[in-house]
Structure 1
Amino acid sequence: MVEHRTVDVNGIRLHIAEEGEGPLVVLLHGFPESWHSWRHQFGPLAAAGFRVVAPDQRGYGASDHPQDVSAYSILHLTGDVVGLIHALGEERAFVVGHDWGAPVAWHTALFRPDVVRGVAGLSVPPPFRGERPPLQAMRERFGGHFYWNYFDQPGVADAEFGKDPRSALRRLLVGASGDGAGGGCYEQALVTDLERGWLADMPEPDELPAWLTEEDLDELTASYANGFTGALNWYRNLDRNWELTAPWHGAGVTPPALYMYGDRDLVPAFPGTAERIGRLPELMPNLVRDPILLPGCGHWTQQERPEEVNAALVDFLTELRG
């Protein structure tokens, strides 16, 4: 049974959900999600002999929402993960991330391989540092219309999503799923009309897909009672993160690793991402197997394809546990 509590970590309070006993597995959600996005993983991983913990990351849900935008840098986010592992009484853990949680997981493994027994990423491959700041690069490529640049504007996306959080979340989740209209075309789905907003061309779905219930949507909507600003502040640190990670330019992720993604996910269609995925076996010397492609799956990997994700994670974690 999943239990909930609050833990003091890295100068803030994090709400966590946990179940099971054994080696620690930390599950890191993405945007716009919460701990609840891992609801299908708790039981199978706990049954396989692992202690499963999923936090609401800083700026999300029942965890603290620092006001300072700079408090959401990659150093703060990875510091939260390392601090959480130690606060839970462990020296090392397995770290698994999806969407924004994947870069946090990859960077935790990059910065602190001594703490990470193994790392898995869903949707977003390892964020090897590019030659230019990402917000700047996308601004030049799309004239400021890419959704990262839209999110970077203080208060703008916050207000758009905050008008009707449930409708915004419904549109975003369905639109970016394998059942949605995005279909892997990022230019159609992720380039924004700055006057009309990002949701303007995302239709309100008549019905939810089978993997998402009204109760799931209720749970997620309630987690945004404090608004979207904390979550959006992660995007507002993209260029700052590029500056902060300069010492690791060219470095690789050395702990044992696993990567999986859907063939209808928008993220692999980003400029240069498909090429990066193809090079993962050489960039990550301890990649345990080739990247796992999930046919028909969109962006919400562990929610859309829980059985396949659970099987891959259990195999990966069990093998590393020895």
Structure 2
Amino acid sequence: MVDVNGIRLHIAEEGEGPLVVLLHGFPESWHSWHRQFGPLAAAGFRVVAPDQRGYGRSDHPEAVDAYTILHLVGDVVGLIRELGEERAYVVGHDWGAPVAWHTALLRPDLVRGVAGLSVPPPFRGSRPPLPAMDQMFGGRFYWNYFNRPGVADAEFAEDTRTALRKFFYWGSGDAPGAGQKQPLVDPERGWLADMADPEVLPEWFTEEDLDALTESFSRGFTGALNWYRNLDRNWELTAPWHGAVVTPPALYVYGDQDVVPAFPGTPELIERLPSLMPNLWREPLKLAGCGHWTQQERPDEVNAALIEFLTSCP
């Protein structure tokens, strides 16, 4: 447990060498990186993965506006300092990717290199995201559903283990129609109603993984969902960086069966990344047959790409 940025964070740690901070997404925990610890540590890195604020054993502030992108970046900055380091590599998946990208955008002096899995680098849109998605999908996009106070919180907490099992199968490359759907929700029936509940988990996601994940949500989902409830506030707060680009060395990895890179406008953004990112290390790495849970579904390929990238940074 470490004290950073006015809160207490739980971290997992292994290895010695240059610091690599691994940032998980939704609905996950530090455990989503457990297949990366050994290989990265063996490659000569000090690997640290926190439960981010609102998750697991870390603090869960009550105020919704305590989960803005500036708070999340502040946690990473504070963590690097608290660990006694001046700079770090920052790697994020899902929601952890925007935190990693924004850490590199706002504090490039602290970032040796940045990698994002699933979610590409941030390029601020011309209008707030929630009204845009509301208009595009008639209020059924999952961001809008998550912004109904207490609704998704109650749905997911009713049977946490089943909710997480459904989520992970739905978002994986193993599910029928993976990568071919937008995450739309019937606001009356909820999101889980139409998600398949697999009788057998994918090989990469064991019952022990599900046990660890379920335990990490023993305090509910509200803290995690509050990240989504700041999407428009984040758009307002990041106005000074409109049009800015991430300058540290960067790597982007995604699965070709991941729903996130299929979000409206995202395929076009991914195609343009080499021209938009001055220090993009290579063409975006697309993993065949991989769904949303990139580092868990394809640990060997992700580990190899991360190690090659991290060791290539100046």
TM-score, scaled to structure 2: 0.99
Question: In 2, are the aligned partners of 1:186 and 1:267 still within 8 Å (CA)?
Answer: no
Q: CA 1:156–1:182 in 2, change beyond 3 Å: closer, same or farther? A: farther
Match of 2:194 in 1: 201
Deviation at 1:140, TM superposition (A): 0.8
The residue number in structure 2 matching 1:71 is 66
Out of 21, 24, 27, the residue aligned to residue 29 of structure 1 is: 24
Q: Residue 291 of structure 1: which of 284, 297, 300 is its match?
A: 284
Correspondence 1:251 to 2:230: no
2:125 is the alignment partner of 1:103: no
* Whole-angstrom distance in 2 between the partners of 1:283 and 1:58: 31
1:123 matched to 2:115: no
Match of 1:234, SS state, is: helix
Deviation for aligned residue 1:127 = 1.7
Instruction: Say yes or no: does 1:155 pair with 2:150.
Output: yes
Query: Which residue, out of 63, 75, 80, partners 1:80?
Result: 75
Equivalent in 123, 132, 140 of residue 135 of structure 2: 140
CA distance in 1, matches of 2:63, 2:108: 29
Q: CA deviation at 1:210?
A: 0.3
- CA distance in structure 1 between the aligned counterparts of 2:306 and 2:181, rounded to whole angstroms: 28
Letter in 2 for 1:22: G
Aligned to 2:271: 278
The whole-number CA distance in structure 1 between the counterparts of 2:180 and 2:132 is: 19
Query: What SS does the corresponding residue of 1:200 show, helix, strand or coil?
Result: helix
Structure 1 CA distance for aligned equivalents of residues 79 and 245 of structure 2? 24
Match of 2:107 in 1: 112
In structure 1, the gaps of 5 or more residues are 1-5
RMSD: 0.6
3-state secondary structure, aligned to 1:121: strand
TM value normalised by structure 1: 0.97
Within the alignment, does 1:237 sit opposite 2:230 as a pair? Answer: yes
CA deviations over 1:236-265 (Å, ceiling 9, x no partner): 000000000000000000000000000000
The residue type equivalent to 1:273 in the other structure is T
> Partners of 1:122 and 1:27 in 2: how far apart?
11
Q: Is 1:182–1:266's contact at 8 Å kept on the other side of the alignment?
A: no
CA displacement at 1:183 relative to structure 2: 1.3
- The one-character-per-residue Cα deviations of 1:153-201 (angstroms, maximum 9, x if unpaired) are 11000000000000000000011000013411233xx111111000010
Query: What is the match of residue 9 of structure 2?
Result: 14
Q: Distance in 2 between matches of 1:179 and 1:271?
A: 23
Q: Which residue of 2 aligns with 1:3?
A: none
**Hey, what does 1:302 align to over in structure 2?**
295
Pairing partner for 1:223 from 213, 216, 219: 216
> Where in structure 2 are there 5+ consecutive unaligned residues?
none
Say if 2:84 is the partner of 1:94.
no
Give the alignment of 1:53-72 within 5 angstroms: 53-72=48-67
C-alpha separation in 2, matches of 1:266 and 1:182 = 10
- Displaced runs of 4+ in structure 1, greater than 4 A? none
Q: In the aligned structure 1, how far is the partner of 2:130 from the partner of 2:80?
A: 31
Q: CA–CA distance in 1 between the matches of 2:28 and 2:125?
A: 26
Partner Cα distance (2:214, 2:276) in 1: 38
Q: How many residue pairs align between the two structures?
A: 314
Indicate the percent of aligned positions where both proteins have the same amino acid.
77
Instruction: Give the counterpart letter for 1:89 in structure 2.
Output: G
Q: Out of 232, 246, 267, which is 2:260 matched to?
A: 267
